[in-house]
Homo-oligomer: A and B are copies of this chain.
Amino acid sequence: MAVFDYEQVSKLAPAVAREQRDRSPCSACSVRGMTICAPLDSQELTQISAIMSSVELGAGAPLFDEGEQAGNVFNVTSGTIKVYKLLPDGRRQITGFLFPGDFLGLARQETYAFSAEAVTLSLLCRFPRHKLEALMQRLPKIEQRLLSIASNELVAAQEQMLLLGRKTAREKTASFLLMLSKRSRQRGQAGDPVTVPMSRTDIGDYLGLTTETVSRAFTQLKQEGTIKLLPNHQVSLARRDVLEEIAGGF
């Protein structure tokens, strides 16, 4: 019986979340150094893995919806997740994209304050909230780590508010590409031909723009030679310096 026997049902998107318990999944975890698990020793990892289960989501599969009982928190181990809020008439604001190593569900409320959905095929570690909270009592390191994560998210959120409130479409797009590049490097991947797994619509909903405006901004940057659009959702930041100049302080 294989240890990592994630069943492959999730290609059929939007698919239902698949899950599975697992004996020692953390030892092979490629993102442990960046997650809430980072400060834990192997004995503590055993404790946290005891309350953890795995979830696999196909592209487009929902993880949870805003307003739903917030029973779990998650750690992304592979793929891309988007987190968003809706207005009553359906307008959508994506408040963040999550990549491997990112933590999800920090809000200390009864219900989720946002919805979460897979952009691509994704794997996550799931922790029942009440169990993680119990564990935090014994391992204050986890709580400290969460505070540190929350602080970083707060800084990022303010940066995003600056972008949404004060940057032009062109500046927003440049900032977005640099953000993707930076985060790709943070998790040890290439920073230059950067993978852009999400649709133009998703990018627009993240930047407070329409699909069309995002498309035009990409086209303009491409025609100037600042970026190159490559196959397979790859974008080359041909002139990173120019991009940084345009983005203005990212």
Residue A158 at the B interface, CB < 8 A?
yes
Cα A86 to Cα B11 in complex, Å, equals: 44
Kindly list chain B residues whose C-beta atoms are within 8 Å of the C-beta of A166: 87, 91-93, 208
Q: Is the CB of B87 within 8 A of A159?
A: no
Choose one: B91, B155, B160, B248; the contact of A161 (CB below 8 Å). Answer: B160
Choose one: B148, B158, B162; the contact of A108 (CB below 8 Å). Answer: B148
Q: Is the CB of B93 within 8 A of A161?
A: yes
Kindly list chain B residues whose C-beta atoms are within 8 Å of the C-beta of A159: 85, 113
Cα A108 to Cα B88 in complex, Å, equals: 35
Q: Is the CB of A147 within 8 A of B108?
A: yes
Oligomeric state, in copies: 2
Band of interface residues on A: 35 or more
Choose one: B93, B107, B150; the contact of A162 (CB below 8 Å). Answer: B93
Residue A47 at the B interface, CB < 8 A?
no
Q: Is the CB of B155 within 8 A of A158?
A: no
Min C-beta distance of A130 to chain B, whole Å: 15
Residue A144 at the B interface, CB < 8 A?
yes
Contacts A87-B166, A108-B151, A166-B87 given; does A95 touch B161 at CB 8 Å: yes
- Which residues of chain A from 180 to 228 have any CB-CB distance to chain B below 8 Å in the complex? 205-208
Q: Is the CB of B165 within 8 A of A208?
A: yes
Min C-beta distance of A98 to chain B, whole Å: 13
Kindly list chain B residues whose C-beta atoms are within 8 Å of the C-beta of A18: none
Kindly list chain B residues whose C-beta atoms are within 8 Å of the C-beta of A87: 162, 166-167, 248-249
Residue A242 at the B interface, CB < 8 A?
no
Kindly list chain B residues whose C-beta atoms are within 8 Å of the C-beta of A206: 165
Choose one: B107, B167, B205, B248; the contact of A155 (CB below 8 Å). Answer: B107
Kindly list chain B residues whose C-beta atoms are within 8 Å of the C-beta of A153: 154
Q: Is the CB of A150 within 8 A of B154?
A: yes
